[in-house]
Structure formats: structure tokens, C-alpha cells
């Protein structure tokens, strides 16, 4: 059973990009909300214990508001992720809900606690004692971090399902090989973001003099010291990744490698500044510099998330669902039955398709390619196939997983493939060519031959077949 779900067409943007953009903004806001909770606790404690008298201004002032804003926007973009992902890949999100039902429920419980604690502090902190306020902030920070804890298990499972592939046990899936390194890594990112935004906020509090500002900034910078552990955790995370994904990141895919380098470079720059400047030399940091560092942190987050999402290719959940929502075990059947034979949804992203074949081809494109490609916008098929003649297109698409190992195998009939090519050629002709080309038996036989040669398994990276890879990954823990 491989049901067809409606997917949305985002015009010149591709669904994968829209998804990544929403996810990056969400992750950034949500991680700040978690780190903000920790920083607020620390400053509340500094104020209460008389270690720093101006810390109270910080806790009760802008920073509190920022944390709340990020937390409200974080929640909204979180809903945005659900909203987008069902339009992009319902099968993926379906699998995540199906396998981790109670984990989601647990996560939402902590989220509710976070909402209640945050609101109580916001509304009543003036009437409450210092101790109660610290308890509320502690509760907020704990609940926020716990929601990270739970969601982290589900997200890391997508890339490193580990022995879950064999056991299907909830614990194996949740505490998968990527769980701990990514949890620790993300926690450090949360604290760093909060510290940087803290530095900006200190700069704009009007009633503080320079030395008071400097002292607060140096305090906030304490939250950046765990960055020292980042190289170690990053290395651990890379090691937990499957071999092929790691090879994309470390050079196999230029785009992925570029984003990885951006992420590492920006983190290094922030880390060195924080440690050398703020921690050892107790420098002052002005609003502009802090803002610049924050932008770099956004770049690092964006790069990191892009790499995490990108290195899962050709899967959204490794060995479970391909990026286009098709399951590996269904490819062989779809080659016989056709991938759009049961697709009831009319083509709305093209008008005036000249023939039934070209319309079928547009549906094939939507079902199998549109998540990572557009026809003429981002990662455009028309450009990528620009220099290929018709036969080259037939062969390279029939052998899709060999053409580029981060693409899934083609999952349709020879006729569907030929229709896809007619559709591509029609778009290439600026949507002018009007003829309905008959498909010859000979063409179909040639395509079938190439499809058979490619097989239905995903690419064989590093000479290891993926079923063997799945078994090995499964037993490696
Ligand atoms: C998992 C995402 C994904 C899916 C699904 C996918 N592709 Fe790709 N494809 C890519 C990426 C990434 C590239 C590399 C683009 C580049 O090199 O700039 C690529 C490259 C290509 C190329 C150029 C190959 C070359 O050697 O230069 C073609 C042609 C192509 N894809 C066609 C398709 C078609 C047709 C489909 C659907 C049947 C499809 N792709 C499905 C991600 C995908």
C-alpha cells in the first residue's frame, strides 16, 4: 500500500526549501527560548544572592520579553512546521507520529508546563518573592529543555535509526546513535544564542553605566564556555552518522560541504571571540558586535540544519521513507503498477498541458521529483538536463540512484518515465511544442532495460549494499 497524498506546489521554490526555511527559523527561535530560560535563572540567582545588583534589571526587563516573544514565535513556527510538512511529505510526518505517538504527547506536556511557568513569571513576578520567581524560572527552563530532549530523539532518529531498524523498539529508536551528541550539542547552541542576545540587550538598557554593562556581559559570556566542548561533540555526531551521509558532508556533495564549512567557521569565530575576548580578557562587547555575532550564529544554525536535513538524502527517514514520500519496499511494485496510477489529484501547477502523456509526465514529476527539484526555479530539471539528448535523459533518469547517489531509485513504469521526459522536453521548448508523440515499443523496451540494470535498491555507496548497511547499522550498537 502506497497511498498518494496531495502535495503543495510552491512555484519557483521547491517544497524541500520551504520546509528547510520554516525549520531553520523555528529551530533558531526555539533554541533561544530554551537558552533564554537558562540565562534568566542564572541572572535571577546572581541578583538574589547579591552577586550582581543590576542583574535584576535584566531579568525583569527586555530580556524577559525577548524570551517570551521567541517562545511565542517559536510555538507558532512549530505549528508552521506541521502545516508545511503535511503539504510536503505526509508519509514522513505520518511515520514520525505513528512510531513516536507517546513521545509527542510527552513533549507537549512539557510544552504546556513551559507555557504556564513562563506566563506566571511574566504576569506575577512583581508580586512574588525572589525564591518563588527563581522556582518559576527554573521550571520554565527545565520544561523548555525537556521539550528539546523529547523532540531531539525523534529528529535524530530520522537520520540515525540505528538498531530500531531491526527491533522496532521505542527505546532503540528514541535513544538512537545520534541522540546524545545532538542533545548536548543543541543545548550548547541554546546557551550560546541566549548569551549573545543577552549581550545585545545589556547594551540597550539605558540606566546602566559602562562598567555595569561590562560586568553583565562577562556574566552572560559564562554561558558560552561550554562551546569548548563543541568540536568534540561535533566529531561524535559525525561519527554517529551513517557512512554515506558523512561522506556527503565531508566533500561528497559540494553544497553540503559548503554549508558544513559555514557552520563550523561561524561557530569557531563566535567561540574564539567569546572565550578569548569575553572570558579571558574580560572585554566589553558593543551592540553592533554582538549583533554581528548573532547573525553569524544564525548562519551557523542555518548551515547546520541544512546539513542535517540534506545529509539524510535520499531519505527523510533512513531506510524507511525516501524524500519523495515513497517507501523503499514499494519501489518494485510501483515499477509494475505505476506511481501515478492511483493519483486522483489534477495537475494545477501547469495550465494547457497539450497531451495526456505530458499531463501524466507532470504528475510523475510531482510525485517523484518535485520535493527536491523545480522545473525552472531552484535545482531546476530543465537546467540540469540542459545538455542531454533524449536518450541520455532516458538512461540517466532510469538509473537515477546511480546518476547521483543522493536520489532515490526511479519508482514508476517505463511509460511513466517516457511521459516525464516528454513533459521535460515540452517545458524546455518554452511550452510551445504541441505534438502528442507516440511512444514506440522499442523505446519502452530500452527504458525497461535501463530500469532493470539500475535495480530497485538505492545507490550502493562505498560498495556496501544498503540492506547490508541497514543490518550492520542495526547491529553496531
Ligand atoms: C532527494 C531529493 C531528490 C529527488 C527526490 C530527486 N532528485 Fe534529482 N537531484 C537531487 C540533487 C540534490 C541533485 C544535484 C543537483 C546538482 O548537482 O546541482 C540532483 C540532480 C539531478 C539531475 C542532474 C544529474 C547530473 O548528473 O547532473 C537530474 C537530471 C535529476 N536530478 C533529475 C531528477 C528526476 C527526474 C527526479 C524524479 C524522478 C529526481 N531528480 C528526484 C535531488 C533529488
Q: Is the CB of 404 under 6 A from ligand 1?
A: yes
Q: What is the mean pLDDT of residues 196-222?
A: 89
List, in sequence order, every residue forming a beta bridge with 380; answer none if it has no partner.
Answer: 374
**Residue indicated by cell numbers 562577562:** 218
Contact 144, 44 (CB under 8 A): no
Total-model pTM: 0.89
What's the confidence (pLDDT) of residue 132?
Answer: 94
Is the pLDDT at 418 greater than 90? The verdict is yes
Share of the chain above pLDDT 90, in %: 57
What's the confidence (pLDDT) of residue 204?
Answer: 86
Q: How many whole angstroms from 407 Cα to the centroid of ligand 1?
A: 6
What's the confidence (pLDDT) of residue 476?
Answer: 39
Indicate the burial class of 326 (C-beta count within 10 angstroms; 0-12, 13-18, 19 or more): buried
**What domains lie within the chain, and their CATH numbers?**
15-322 (1.20.1630), 335-475 (no CATH)
Q: Is the CB of 369 under 6 A from ligand 1?
A: yes
Burial 187-198 (b: 16+ CB within 10 A, else e): bbbbbbbbbbbb
Nearest to 364 by CA among 407, 327, 414: 414
What's the confidence (pLDDT) of residue 435?
Answer: 66
What's the confidence (pLDDT) of residue 140?
Answer: 95
Q: Which of 80-94, 97-111, 217-231, 246-260 has the lowest mean pLDDT?
A: 246-260
Distance CA 322, CA 457 (A): 12
Q: What is the mean pLDDT of residues 188-211?
A: 90
Which of 255, 256, 382, 384 is the pocket-test mutation for ligand 1 (most atoms within 8 Å of CB)?
384
Strands (E), 249-342: 315-317, 321-322
Q: What is the pLDDT of residues 236-264, one digit of tens each?
A: 999 999 888 888 888 888 888 898 999 99
The alpha carbon of residue 268 and the mean position of all alpha carbons in its chain are separated, in whole angstroms, by 22
Q: Which atom of ligand 1 is nearest to the CA of 410?
A: 38
pLDDT band of residue 468 (cuts 50, 70, 90) is very low
Is the pLDDT at 434 greater than 80? The verdict is no
Is the pLDDT at 178 greater than 60? The verdict is yes
Q: What DSSP designation does 283 have?
A: -
What's the confidence (pLDDT) of residue 70?
Answer: 82
Is the pLDDT at 460 greater than 70? The verdict is no
Q: What is the pLDDT of residues 311-341, one digit of tens each?
A: 888 999 999 999 999 999 999 999 999 999 9
Tallying the residues shown for the chain, one arrives at 477
| Atom 36 of ligand 1: nearest residue by CA position | 369
| Atom 39 of ligand 1: nearest residue by CA position | 369
Q: Which of 221-235, 422-436, 452-466 has the lowest mean pLDDT?
A: 452-466
The contacts of residue 81 (CB under 8 Å, 6+ apart) are 19, 22, 23, 26
Is the pLDDT at 119 greater than 60? The verdict is yes
pLDDT band of residue 477 (cuts 50, 70, 90) is very low
The contacts of residue 273 (CB under 8 Å, 6+ apart) are 293
Nearest to 9 by CA among 383, 373, 339: 373
What's the confidence (pLDDT) of residue 184?
Answer: 96
Q: Which atom of ligand 1 is nearest to the CA of 385?
A: 29
* Angle, CA 1 vertex, CA 457 and CA 152 arms, to 5°: 70
Q: Is the CB of 439 under 6 A from ligand 1?
A: no
Nearest to 405 by CA among 453, 472, 454, 470: 454
| Terminal Cα distance for the chain, rounded | 31
For residue 298, report the phi and psi dihedrals to the nearest 5 degrees: -65, -40
CA distances from 90 to 50, 55, 75, 93, 434 (A): 53, 47, 21, 5, 35
Is the pLDDT at 470 greater than 60? The verdict is no
The alpha carbon of residue 39 and the mean position of all alpha carbons in its chain are separated, in whole angstroms, by 26
Is the pLDDT at 469 greater than 60? The verdict is no
Q: How many whole angstroms from 380 Cα to the centroid of ligand 1?
A: 9
Distance CA 374, CA 17 (A): 11
Q: Is the CB of 91 under 6 A from ligand 1?
A: no
What's the sign of the alpha-carbon dihedral 210, 215, 219, 221?
positive
Q: Which atom of ligand 1 is nearest to the CA of 388?
A: 29
* Angle, CA 242 vertex, CA 240 and CA 246 arms, to 5°: 90
Q: What is the pLDDT of residues 393-402, one digit of tens each?
A: 999 999 999 9
Q: What is the pLDDT of residues 126-152, one digit of tens each?
A: 899 999 999 999 999 999 999 999 999
Q: What is the pLDDT of residues 32-49, one digit of tens each?
A: 999 999 999 999 999 999
Q: What is the pLDDT of residues 103-112, one digit of tens each?
A: 999 999 999 9
Contact 137, 68 (CB under 8 A): no
Q: What is the mean pLDDT of residues 168-181?
A: 96
Contact 190, 148 (CB under 8 A): yes
Amino acid at each position: 500500500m502506497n497511498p498518494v497524498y496531495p502535495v503543495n506546489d510552491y512555484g519557483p521554490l521547491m517544497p524541500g526549501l520551504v520546509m528547510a526555511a520554516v525549520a531553520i527559523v523555528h529551530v533558531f527561535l526555539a533554541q533561544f527560548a530554551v537558552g533564554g530560560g537558562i540565562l534568566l535563572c542564572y541572572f535571577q540567582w546572581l541578583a538574589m544572592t547579591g552577586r550582581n545588583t543590576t542583574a535584576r534589571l535584566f531579568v525583569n526587563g527586555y530580556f524577559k520579553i525577548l524570551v517570551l516573544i521567541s517562545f511565542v514565535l517559536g510555538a507558532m513556527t512549530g505549528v508552521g512546521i506541521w502545516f508545511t510538512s503535511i503539504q510536503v511529505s505526509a508519509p514522513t510526518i505520518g511515520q514520525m507520529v505513528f512510531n513516536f505517538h507517546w513521545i509527542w504527547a510527552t513533549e507537549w506536556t512539557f510544552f504546556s508546563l513551559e507555557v504556564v511557568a513562563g506566563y506566571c513569571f511574566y504576569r506575577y513576578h512583581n508580586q512574588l518573592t525572589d525564591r518563588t520567581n527563581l522556582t518559576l524560572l527554573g521550571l520554565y527552563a527545565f520544561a523548555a529543555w525537556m521539550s528539546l530532549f523529547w523532540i531531539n530523539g525523534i529528529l535524530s532518529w530520522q537520520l540515525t535509526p540505528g538498531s530500531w531498524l531491526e527491533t522496532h523498539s521505542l527505546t532503540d529508536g528514541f535513544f538512537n546513535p545520534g541522540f546524545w551528541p545532538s542533545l548536548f550539542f543543541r543545548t550548547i547552541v541554546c546557551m550560546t544564542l541566549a548569551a549573545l542576545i543577552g549581550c545585545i540587550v545589556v547594551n540597550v538598557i539605558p540606566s546602566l553605566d559602562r562598567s555595569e554593562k561590562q560586568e553583565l556581559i562577562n556574566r552572560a559570556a559564562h554561558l558560552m564556555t561550554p562551546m569548548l566542548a563543541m568540536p568534540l561533540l561535533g566529531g561524535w555526531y559525525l561519527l554517529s552518522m551513517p557512512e554515506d551521509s558523512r561522506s556527503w558532508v565531508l566533500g561528497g556533495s559540494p553544497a553540503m560541504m559548503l554549508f558544513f564549512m559555514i557552520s563550523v567557521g561561524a561557530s569557531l569565530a563566535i567561540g574564539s571571540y567569546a572565550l578569548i575576548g569575553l572570558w579571558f580578557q574580560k572585554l566589553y562587547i558593543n551592540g553592533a558586535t554582538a549583533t554581528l555575532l548573532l547573525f553569524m550564529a544564525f548562519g551557523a544554525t542555518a548551515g547546520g540544519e541544512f546539513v542535517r536535513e540534506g545529509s539524510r538524502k535520499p531519505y527523510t527517514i533512513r531506510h524507511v521513507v525516501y524524500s519523495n514520500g515513497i517507501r523503499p519496499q514499494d519501489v518494485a511494485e510501483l515499477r509494475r503498477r505505476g506511481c501515478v496510477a492511483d493519483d486522483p489529484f489534477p495537475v494545477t501547477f501547469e495550465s494547457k498541458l497539450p497531451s495526456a502523456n505530458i499531463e501524466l509526465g507532470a504528475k510523475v514529476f510531482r510525485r517523484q521529483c518535485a520535493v527536491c527539484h523545480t522545473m525552472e526555479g531552484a535545482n531546476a530539471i530543465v537546467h540540469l538536463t540542459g545538455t542531454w539528448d533524449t536518450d541520455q535523459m532516458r538512461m540517466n533518469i532510469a538509473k537515477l540512484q546511480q546518476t547521483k547517489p543522493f536520489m532515490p531509485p526511479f519508482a514508476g513504469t517505463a511509460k511513466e518515465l517516457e511521459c516525464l521526459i516528454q513533459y521535460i522536453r515540452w517545458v524546455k521548448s518554452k511550452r510551445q511544442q504541441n505534438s502528442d508523440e507516440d511512444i514506440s515499443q522499442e523505446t519502452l523496451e530500452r527504458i525497461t532495460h535501463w530500469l532493470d540494470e539500475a535495480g530497485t535498491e538505492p545507490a550502493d555507496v562505498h560498495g556496501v549494499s544498503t540492506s547490508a548497511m541497514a543490518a550492520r547499522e542495526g547491529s553496531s550498537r
